[in-house]
Amino acid sequence: MAEVTKEIQDKAYEAVELAKKTGKIKKGTNEVTKAVERGNAKLVVVSGNVNPKEIVMHIEPLCREKDIPCVVVSSKEDLGAAAGLPVGTSSVAIIKEGDSLNVIKEIKVGLNKKNG
């Protein structure tokens, strides 16, 4: 999985927190996979420390295929906290942006610079 800068990771956590409060998110590998396949996801955040990795390995290529930005973060515990969960989560998809729209745009620009 492609690692991203700490700045993009922090923005991803911020986007998840804002979308949780003012938009709509899906949590967990199964819900995220369905959201990506249906084309509903605006941003996908995947944890890099999931064990075994096979649980989330399919999400990043699926996002590329559907042209949905995907950010790999270092900690499932921090991702779970950002999503408002008392436990870690392997992945989160933002379905409705709410107030996180501008943060998602910044993440897309950062990912384009990294990949471009």
- Token pair belonging to 80: 């779970």
- CATH architecture group of domain 6-115: 2-Layer Sandwich (3.30)
pTM: 0.93
Spans of all domains in the chain: 6-115
Please list the pLDDT of the chain residue by residue as tens digits (116 residues). 566 889 999 999 999 999 999 999 999 999 999 999 999 999 999 999 999 999 999 999 999 999 999 999 999 999 999 999 999 999 999 999 999 999 999 999 988 877 66
Which residue do the tokens 């509903």 mark? 40
Which residue do the tokens 């906290």 mark? 81
